[in-house]
Amino acid sequence: MRNNHIAGEWLSASNAVANVNPSDTRDIIGEYAQASVAQTKRAIDAAYDAFPAWSRSTIQARHDILKSVGDEVLARKDELGRLLSREEGKILAEGVGEVTRAGQIFHYFAGECLRLSGDKLGSVRAGVDVEITREPVGVVGLITPWNFPIAIPAWKIAPAIAYGNTVVFKPAELVSASAHALCDIIVRAGLPPGVFNLVMGSGGVVGEAMLSSAKLAAISFTGSVPTGRRVAEACISADPMKRMQLEMGGKNPMVVLDDADLTLAVECAVNSSFFSTGQRCTASSRLIVTGGIHDAFLAAMTERMNALVVDDACKDGTHIGPVVDQRQLEQDLSYIRLGQDEGAKLVAGGELLKRDTPGFYLSPALFSEVDNRMRVAREEIFGPVATVIRARNYDEALEIANDTPFGLSSGICTTSLKYASHFKRNAEAGMVIVNLPTAGVDYHVPFGGRKGSSYGPREQGRYAAEFYTTVKTAYTFGGYAP
Ligand code: ADP
């Protein structure tokens, strides 16, 4: 059994859950301890007790630890990338890419430790100075999803530690192996006991125990909308209320205008909609295409999709790995049936596939003749299922793009400066992307959305300090009024 890390020790549990490879369900990656409520409380107590000393640690000490975590993650990127692909099902290149990203994030925040700054202003009162500084928040609870098993934990853990907070980290049940491997690296990097705790387990047990603890000052959550709402209710009704940062779903549009480079648009759409098996919150699932290019785009998409290889995530030549598990596969299939019932036309894919190994293989599905009011165009499916929506012109395309409860990323493919500029200003999303896949983002700039996609301050880049620090305003009267 692989254990939890609580108060500086690796602790076993009475329950363990098998981590199954979605490319080959006979392959069990390991048995992972499931923390009890009592163990979760112990982890929170340890983080709480470790906070006073850690919050006053030097920025050099924090820098050195994060730097060494980043070094080890990068040095082991192939091994950790393979582990990630084996447990989550994204292809090897994406698994290694994600681990590389995680290493870069630790390096970035190692530098940020040294760069945290405040402000010094004059006062409106004579002889008074005003200083604005940022201090750590306290114990932060980090709750993460399964679709980025190492990058999302990294972009929450690294700033939490960089800015002097202590951490209780609960990864998603399906991806314990990456979380455990990352934890092992972090705790060997020299953190004092209790600063970082890993509590694997279910949302209902470990997650709820975190939400109900008065010792947790803040929760950063990434996951589904219903769970995000549950986290928000718990944070608001807690006494004292908790600070929260919620990253939830998306139903991201990608507009393709008549003047787009067709080959580029198809590459952007295939990447955005289907790579990582469509299991990215920034994936494009609504391809909004204007009339003059619509039929050519659809023909080129189906041709390109027919060339995609769906197979074992770790096999050479695979473009798209399996869906993460049976439950998600059933959700994808039920939406594919729903789309047909709603009157959309399934032009490609959407079929269960048999491969050499038993896994959750689904060919990427594309619907045309979609109306933006259909449920397949409004609800997040979180699988390799995309819809094509016809628009008369740019104005209508923009209106459809914004007509969604979500607002994470929004893309456009066009060669027109006029439309690109207008779209950047008027797309109702946290991230706007021109002539690139909607799902690729940099790690040194803010990540987050609007409307139903996000709540609270942005993640990543120096904007992460908005969540992981609290601002203090100090007034000093030195005794002399000029
Ligand atoms: P998904 O449907 O993608 O699994 P969830 O929102 O259910 O998304 O899960 C995201 C994370 O939230 C996971 O780590 C999960 O265990 C956790 N979680 C689920 N339910 C709760 C809950 N009631 N309280 C706290 N965390 C939860």
Measured CA to CA, the distance from residue 352 to residue 428 in angstroms comes to 35
Question: Regarding predicted confidence, which is higher, 169 or 122?
Answer: 169
| Whole-number pLDDT of residue 478 | 85
Task: Using CA atoms of 196, 197, 200, 206 in order, give the dihedral in degrees to the nearest 10.
Answer: -120
Residue 439 lies in a domain: no
* pLDDT at position 479 over 90: no
What's the chain's length in residues?
A: 482
User: What confidence tier does 48 reach under pLDDT thresholds 50, 70, 90?
Assistant: very high
CA of 223 to the centre of ligand 1 (A): 6
Question: Once rounded to an integer, what is the mean pLDDT over residues 349-368?
Answer: 98
Given 235, 281, 314, 413, which residue is catalytic?
Answer: 281
Read off the tokens for 304: 């390109």
Same domain, 269 and 389: yes
DSSP state letter for 382: -
Measured CA to CA, the distance from residue 53 to residue 164 in angstroms comes to 9
Measured CA to CA, the distance from residue 423 to residue 254 in angstroms comes to 11
- Pairing mode, strands 128-136 and 196-198: unpaired
| Whole-number pLDDT of residue 427 | 98
Q: What angle do CA 179, 184, 190 make, to 5 degrees?
A: 130
From 227, 324, 382, give the residue whose CB has the most ligand 1 atoms within 8 Å, as the site to mutate: 227
Same domain, 29 and 93: yes
Same domain, 231 and 104: yes
Same domain, 304 and 189: no
CA of 79 to the centre of ligand 1 (A): 27
CA of 82 to the centre of ligand 1 (A): 25
Q: Whose CA is nearest to atom 9 of ligand 1?
A: 223
- Pairing mode, strands 345-348 and 284-290: unpaired
Same domain, 236 and 256: no
Read off the tokens for 118: 């405040």
| Whole-number pLDDT of residue 199 | 98
pLDDT in tens, 381-412: 999 999 999 999 999 999 999 999 999 999 99
| Whole-number pLDDT of residue 438 | 86
Structural domain boundaries enclosing 317: 252-434
Question: Once rounded to an integer, what is the mean pLDDT over residues 332-339?
Answer: 98
260 Cβ neighbours under 8 A, 6+ residues apart? 293, 413, 414, 415
Residue 481 lies in a domain: no
266 Cβ neighbours under 8 A, 6+ residues apart? 297, 300, 301, 304
Same domain, 56 and 150: yes
Three-state DSSP state, 25: strand
Per-position DSSP letters for 168-190, written without gaps between them: EEE--GGGHHHHHHHHHHHHHTT
| Whole-number pLDDT of residue 270 | 98
Same domain, 266 and 342: yes
- Pairing mode, strands 243-247 and 406-407: unpaired
pLDDT in tens, 175-231: 999 999 999 999 999 999 999 999 999 999 999 999 999 999 999 999 999 999 999
Integer angstrom CA distances of residue 257 from 201, 300, 345, 394, 432:
46, 15, 21, 7, 16
CA of 344 to the centre of ligand 1 (A): 31
Report the domain count for the chain. Answer: 2
Is-catalytic flag, 281?
yes
| Whole-number pLDDT of residue 439 | 83
Same domain, 240 and 109: yes
Measured CA to CA, the distance from residue 355 to residue 352 in angstroms comes to 10
Give residue ranges with CB within 6 A of ligand 1: 143-145, 170, 172-173, 202-204, 207-208, 211, 223-224, 227, 230-231
What is the number of the ligand 1 atom nearest to the C-alpha of 208?
Answer: 24
| Whole-number pLDDT of residue 38 | 98
| Whole-number pLDDT of residue 405 | 97
Q: Whose CA is nearest to atom 20 of ligand 1?
A: 203
Same domain, 212 and 317: no
Residue 346 lies in a domain: yes
Would you tell me how many other CB atoms lie within 10 Å of the CB of residue 438?
28
Is-catalytic flag, 135?
no
What's the CATH code of the domain at 210? 3.40.605.10
| Whole-number pLDDT of residue 29 | 97
Task: Note the Cα 3 to chain centre separation in Å.
Answer: 24
pLDDT in tens, 248-290: 999 999 999 999 999 999 999 999 999 999 999 999 999 999 9
58 Cβ neighbours under 8 A, 6+ residues apart? none
Question: Once rounded to an integer, what is the mean pLDDT over residues 445-451?
Answer: 97
Residue 126 lies in a domain: yes
Same domain, 190 and 300: no
End-to-end CA distance of the chain: 69
Q: Whose CA is nearest to atom 14 of ligand 1?
A: 172
Residue 273 lies in a domain: yes
**In terms of pTM, does the model score above 0.95?**
yes
Read off the tokens for 347: 């032009």
Q: Whose CA is nearest to atom 16 of ligand 1?
A: 203
| Whole-number pLDDT of residue 42 | 98
Q: Whose CA is nearest to atom 27 of ligand 1?
A: 203
| Whole-number pLDDT of residue 51 | 98
Q: What is the mean pLDDT of the chain?
A: 97
Question: Once rounded to an integer, what is the mean pLDDT over residues 425-433?
Answer: 98
* pLDDT at position 482 over 80: no
Counting residues of the chain whose pLDDT is more than 70, the rounded percentage is 100
pLDDT in tens, 318-335: 999 999 999 999 999 999
CA of 231 to the centre of ligand 1 (A): 9
* pLDDT at position 481 over 80: no
Residue 400 lies in a domain: yes
Going by C-alpha positions, the residue among 224, 265, 228 that lies closest to residue 246 is 228
pLDDT in tens, 76-90: 999 999 999 999 999
Residue 443 lies in a domain: no
Question: Once rounded to an integer, what is the mean pLDDT over residues 108-132?
Answer: 96
Residue 391 lies in a domain: yes
Given 72, 88, 112, 247, which residue is catalytic?
Answer: 247
Per-position DSSP letters for 202-240, written without gaps between them: -IIIIIHHHHT-TTEEEEEEES-HHHHHHHHHHHHHSSS
Measured CA to CA, the distance from residue 438 to residue 436 in angstroms comes to 6
Same domain, 260 and 382: yes
What's the CATH code of the domain at 408? 3.40.309.10
Q: Whose CA is nearest to atom 17 of ligand 1?
A: 203
Same domain, 223 and 312: no
